[in-house]
Structure 1
Amino acid sequence: MSEPQLSVVVPVFNERDNVAPLVGEIVAALRGQVDFEIVYVDDNSKDDTLAVLESLKLTHPELRVLHHVQQSGQSTAVRNGIKAARAPWIATLDGDGQNDPADIPKMLAARATAPTQVKLFAGWRVNRQDSGSKRWASKWANAIRARMLRDDTPDTGCGIKLFERAAFLDLPYFDHMHRFLPALMQRAGWKTISVPVNHRHRTAGVSKYNNLNRALVGIRDLRGVAWLIARSRRTDVQER
């Protein structure tokens, strides 16, 4: 099998009813457009998500399945999927089906016309389909983050992103880092672009987070990322 050009990484925890529809949508969006693989990372689900994924491998040759032997969180699942990926570019999706895989070709098109210094294309949910309280909390968090980090990104919480694998693996790793990718990429010297994308209602399962949990964790992480940016040093290197 030839090496894929794109790896679609999807972290999941207790999403058994969302797995099959989302895999089907990814295949429909990308098959015939680009050589790709799908890397699902099951974060030790307590339902039969893993069994559903393993059964889908029989009919979807692009699908690979990784399994955490203990629950480790979304950032770790994303990173482990990226480490296992075989393609030089990564697309990520949340496993709840709210991201639309049909937006991945749009992001690939944006990459085709962007300067090589752009290493991250971040989804921007211009028409959020979450509850009013969740949208308000996200708006508040984005405003604080933008003021502190100056990352010029309207929506860092969107799960659909396209980025270079090598650039991601060069970033400092910490839990919840996936929420700060634009700022971390910019800290590393790369440019980022926000791409308007579709957003959908969750049709099955339940959210794994609440607004209070997001806020408490986010404040601590935000201070840490601000410290990383303040302490960063970059210089061009020449081999002589």
Structure 2
Amino acid sequence: MRPVSVVVPVCNEAENIGALVAEILDETASLPLLEVIVVDDGSTDGTAEIVAEAAQQDTRIRLVRHPRNGGQSAAIHTGVLVAHGEIICTLDGDGQNPPEGLPSLVAPFLVAETGRLGLVAGQRMGRQDSFSKRAASRFANWLRSRVLHDHTRDTGCGLKAFRRDAFLMLPAFNHMHRFLPALFSRDGWDVAHVDVGHRPRGGGSSKYNNLQRGLVGAVDLVAVAWLIRRRKRVVSPADHLTGVPSDG
């Protein structure tokens, strides 16, 4: 089995992160887990101290700290850069993504025959969010799907698994984590989807509001559509890394 690293971006999640890391370790017992990398994105509430204490008890836990807040995509990118696993799993640090979904995200990589599977994207079932957040997310996903044709109903789900080498060849920008299916497809990779659970936030508060998310999302959508349109497809990153030319 290919070694796995779990990357957890966090900012001010002291009420959730200790229990979440312990749960990740329990739920990934069947995987060749190398490490759980918690990237503290400028927390001010003691999140980093909780993770540091846990790391003293279990060497698989690693803490990486940003000196200031850079955003979720920046935290994920940092975690992937320092990871040792060939397969990277991600989930949000607020505890709403149940770690029990991690093995099902890795499973498709174990049976993939072509070597071109780049991303397995979780799709939340039974979302435990407010009506306004669910409605805003539904509209954003509909609009994104119409523009990018990424065949993904829920790109906002933090539960994902992907090839580390493929991720590091993607264009890096703020909020890129919300466009991973389109970006992986752009680079010639196959994308699979797995239904996963969702649960209420255990403590703390969300770092986003609907207006803020909508404004930046509109700008990002235009930018990603431009990136896809301008992609030169002589030899895709997937062709380069696998040595297997695509059919398209």
Instruction: Note if 1:156 corresponds to 2:155.
Output: yes
Deviation (angstroms), 1:167: 0.3
Gaps of at least 5 residues in structure 2 are 244-248
State which drifts further: 176-185 or 35-44: 35-44
- Is this contact kept in 2: 1:39–1:81, CA < 8 A? yes
Which range is displaced more, 209-218 or 229-238? 229-238
Q: Does 1:52 align with 2:54?
A: no
Q: C-alpha separation between the residues in 1 aligned to 2:131 and 2:31?
A: 37
Within 5 A, what are the aligned runs for 1:1-240? 5-115=3-113, 116-236=115-235
The structural deviation recorded for 1:32 is 4.8
Q: State how far apart, in whole Å, the 2-side matches of 1:109 and 1:49 are.
A: 31
Output one character per residue of 1:55-104: Cα deviation in whole Å (capped at 9) or x when no partner. Answer: 11122221000000111111101000100001111000100000011111
CA distance in 2, matches of 1:134, 1:179: 15
Instruction: Structure 1: give runs of 5+ residues left out of the alignment.
Output: none
Where 1:122 maps in the other structure, the secondary structure is strand
Instruction: Give SS of 1:102's match.
Output: helix
**Offset of residue 130 of structure 1:** 0.6
In structure 1, what is the Cα distance between the partners aligned to 2:112 and 2:136?
32
- Which residue is 2:246 aligned to? none
CA contact (8 A) 1:9 1:39 kept: yes
TM-score under structure 1 length normalisation:
0.95
Q: What is the distance in 1 between the residues matched to 2:112 and 2:3?
A: 17
- Counterpart amino acid of 1:68? H
Paired positions, count: 236
**Alignment-mate amino acid for residue 207 of structure 1:** S
| Identical columns (%) | 47
State whether residues 30 and 36 of structure 1, in contact with CA within 8 Å, keep that contact through their aligned partners in structure 2: no
Q: Take 1:45 and 1:33, find their aligned partners in 2: how far apart are those partners?
A: 30
Contact 2:4–2:35, Cα closer than 8 Å, also in 1: yes
- Alpha-carbon RMSD across the aligned residues, in angstroms, is 1.5
What secondary structure sits across from 2:191 in the alignment? strand
In structure 1, C-alpha distance between the alignment counterparts of 2:100 and 2:107, rounded to whole Å: 12
- Residues 213-240 of structure 1, C-alpha deviation per residue, up to 9 Å, x if partnerless? 000000000000000011111124799x
Residue identity opposite 1:84 in structure 2: V
Residue identity opposite 2:17 in structure 1:
V
